[in-house]
Amino acid sequence: MKSVLILGATSDIAQAVAKKYAAEGWSLTLAARDTVALEPIAADLKIRADAEVKAVQFDATDFENHAAFYESLSPKPDAVICVFGYMGDQESVRSDFGEVKKTIDVNYTGAVSILNIVANDFEQRESGAIAGISSVAGDRGRQSNYIYGSAKAGFTAYLSGLRNRLAKKGVHVMTVKPGFCRTKMTEKLELPAALTAEPEQVAAAVFSGMKKQRNVVYTLWMWRYIMLIIRHIPEFIFKKMDM
């Protein structure tokens, strides 16, 4: 039985990804900071899919312990999905460096730290697949969330480099950019229905993308073109826009 490690397993997208992998017959290791919140999620997957599920503690910003964390996993996963992320309030990010640091530490440094360790193992085994949930916010910095966006841009670039490095070793690396998604972060907001994915759609895109070895996945196809347009707006116009 193949096994998948899901990092940041309590988020809505991660839960949907876990359900999808469980339904497809994988065994799961769910990793998150809050293990109390993980328990009902793990119990649910066992009933729902008769799946083998382990819940383990993992803190994205506890960099020193990432090696030990990965060392403790047995057996080692065949696939790793890096879902965790942090988006603070843009207002407080402007004045509070603690928030800035947290945004960068979780979305970029933490992800790079753990995935480096995974990548070295996969490279040595010459097998495995890694998916990183990045964001369309990283495709171009916009005034509304550029701290988060720049951390995700860094993560996107990291995944692209990692893909380049590991492709020769038969290890696949996939970048996922979900666009708007209906989760607890956005449930209070009125999002355009046609551009908003359900977590289940993101999960299905992740699973099928990994299976088909896709490189960059936008959950809803429109987002690829929306971001293409946004990236190509000349800077002298873009800087005056309200985005």
Partner 1 sequence: MRKIADWGNYPVIEAEVTGFDSAEQLRTQLEQPGEVIAFGNGRSYGDASLQKNILLTRRFNKFLSFDENTGTLCCQSGVLLSEILDAFVPRGWFLPVTPGTKLITVGGAIAADVHGKNHHVAGSFGQHVLSMEVMRNDGSVIRCSPQEKAEFFRLTIGGMGLSGVILNATFRLKRINTAYIREETVRAENLDEIMDGFELSDNWTYSVAWIDCLAKGDAMGRSILMRGEHCTKGELIKPDRLELPLILKQRLQLDIPVMFPNVALNPLSMKAFNFLYYNKTRPGTHSRIIDYNSFFYPLDAISNWNRIYGKRGFTQYQFVIPKSAGREGMRTILKRITESGLGSFLAVLKLFGEQNSFMSFPMKGYTLALDFPISHRAMQLFTELDAMVADYGGRLYLAKDSRMNAAMFEKTYPNADEFRQAISLLNEGETQFASLQSKRIGIT
For residue 8, report the phi and psi dihedrals to the nearest 5 degrees: 85, 50
18, 32, 49, 53: which one contacts partner 1 (CB under 8 A)?
49
Q: How far is the CB of 55 from partner 1 (least distance, A)?
A: 14
* Residue 12 binds partner 1 (CB under 8 A): yes
Q: Which stretch binds partner 1 (CB under 8 A): 45-53, 128-136, 168-176, 208-216?
A: 45-53
47, 74, 75, 237: which one contacts partner 1 (CB under 8 A)?
47
Q: Enter the tokens of residue 227.
A: 């971001």
What count of Cα atoms within 13 Å lies in the side-chain half-sphere of residue 33? 12
Q: How far is the CB of 190 from partner 1 (least distance, A)?
A: 4
d(CA 139, CA 237): 17
* Residue 221 binds partner 1 (CB under 8 A): no
* Residue 192 binds partner 1 (CB under 8 A): no
1, 189, 229, 237: which one contacts partner 1 (CB under 8 A)?
189
Distances (CA, A) of 168 to 76, 191, 201, 227: 21, 41, 30, 29
* Residue 188 binds partner 1 (CB under 8 A): yes
Q: How far is the CB of 132 from partner 1 (least distance, A)?
A: 24
Minimum CB distance to partner 1 smaller for 34 or for 89: 34
Q: Report whether 53 contacts 218 (CB < 8 A).
A: no
Q: Enter the tokens of residue 136.
A: 């369309």
3-state secondary structure of 201: helix
The sign of the CA dihedral 166, 167, 173, 177 is: positive
Q: How far is the CB of 160 from partner 1 (least distance, A)?
A: 31
Q: What is the DSSP letter of 76?
A: P
- Which residues would be at the binding site for partner 1 (CB under 8 A)? 12, 23, 37, 40-41, 43-44, 47-50, 184, 187-190, 194
